[in-house]
A = this chain, B = another copy of it.
Amino acid sequence: MSQKPTQVRVAWHCTCFNARRAARAVTEFYDDIMAPSGVKATQFTMLGAVALMGPASVTHLAEHLALDRTTLTRNLKALASEGLVEISEGDDRRERVVALSDAGHTALDRATPLWHQAQDRLIARFGEERWRRMIEDMGDLGALAEEIGADA
């Protein structure tokens, strides 16, 4: 029994737990609001990345998204089967080039206002200043974890 209070603090101060919990809750929040568009938050991010980078290889997209390459491969499959992205061979025949289809553009346009709605609602309640700071913190945390993980 004497150990339990310590164990508590361990659990609730765990960076990993808190990061994952926040990610779960925020994802659900965005997904709910964006549901009418038929685009989930994670898919919105991918579509946005493809739109931003233009036709790009899976590896390049994965690097930009700080996402495992093989994860992206599979996630793109769903978008491709819905016809939102088109995957074709590049000049380098090892590469697969991912591009946004017309339907993908449409979906992105349809989802963007809802994304703004979710984002704005959250920021309004969280406080703009504090939100800005947290986004920067989370970005740095991600970068740091990747960096010192690579060292080891």
Give A3 to B132 CA distance when docked, in angstroms. 23
Q: Given A134-B134, A137-B137, A16 and B24 touching (CB < 8 A)?
A: no
Measured in the bound complex, the distance between the Cα atoms of B27 and A149 in whole Å is: 10
Select from chain B the residue with minimum beta-carbon distance to A136: B18
Q: How far is the CA of A10 from the CA of B76 in the complex (A)?
A: 20
CB-CB under 8 A for A52 and B17, given A29-B148, A112-B10, A125-B144: no
Q: Are A135 and B16 in contact (CB under 8 A)?
A: no
Please state if B24 and A22 are interface contacts (CB–CB under 8 Å): no
| Contact residues in B for A142 (Cβ distance below 8 Å) | 18, 21-22, 24-26
> Hey, which bits of chain A sit against chain B, CB under 8 A?
4, 7-8, 10-11, 13-30, 32-33, 41-42, 44-45, 48-49, 51-52, 65-67, 112, 115, 118-119, 121-123, 125-126, 130-131, 133-135, 137-146, 148-149, 152
